Amino acid sequence: MAKEKILIVEDDEDIMELISFNLEQERYLIRKADSGERALQEVSKELPALILLDLMLPEINGLDVCRRLKADTKTQSIPVLMVTAKGEESDIVTGLELGAVDYITKPFRPKELVARVRSALRVVSNSKEETLEILRVHEIEINPMKREVRVEGKSIELTFSEFQILYTLAKKAGWVFTRYQIVNAVRGEDYPVTDRSIDVQIVGLRKKLGRAGKYIETVRGVGYRLKE
């Protein structure tokens, strides 16, 4: 039984072949692009189920590719898994803020890469199967079917990760989530993320929510909750 189509965006031929071989062993259908420009062209031809995206690319870098994908309603729901040799926290945080669902740094173990791909696809699949009811907490209205958030009737533009965090907190308003519980709820499994990346996204989320941002409370030494 054929599995989902995955687009690999990587300019290093050896790494491209390594990734392709291991995913094809799992019967995923592989498409390839060796630059940011070609990646966008491939996506315009046919939407993949997931994109493995290197950050260091010719023509258009990976972060800009991710930014363009998440700004387009046709492609914003495609899960993007960053693959990069740059372990710098700033790049990881930026990618997550733009809407990437996960990252893996080079060098990586093939089994770990395959596990991350499965996890990302499973999260997307599970979110589609959920009973997606509109949530209302204080002045905040969350429509998961449309991935739309309104505050006092005004539409608020959120990144993929910001929306997922808000939706997770809102489904259990009043519950306290640790940073890692938030990551697990948003991305599916244990995930080597730093505290800073969650904190940065919470700061951005509060800012976009305006006065309603005050309802996202910091529980010192524990994590965050959405006030009931």
5-128 is a CATH 3.40.50.970 domain: no
Which DSSP letter does residue 80 get?
A: E
Q: What is the pLDDT of residue 191?
A: 47
Task: Tell me the whole-structure pTM to 2 decimals.
Answer: 0.62
For residue 158, give both structure tokens.
């959120």
Class of domain 130-226: mainly alpha
Indicate the domain borders of the chain: 5-128, 130-226
Q: Are the beta carbons of 105 and 54 closer than 8 angstroms?
A: no
DSSP 138-172: TTEEEETTTTEEEETTEEE---HHHHHHHHHHHHT
Going by the DSSP 8-state scheme, the letter that residue 112 receives in this structure is H
pLDDT at residue 126, rounded to an integer: 58
Predicted pLDDT of residue 190? 44
Task: Name residue 225's beta-bridge partners.
Answer: 217
Q: Which residues of the chain have pLDDT under 70?
A: 1-2, 86-89, 123-132, 187-196
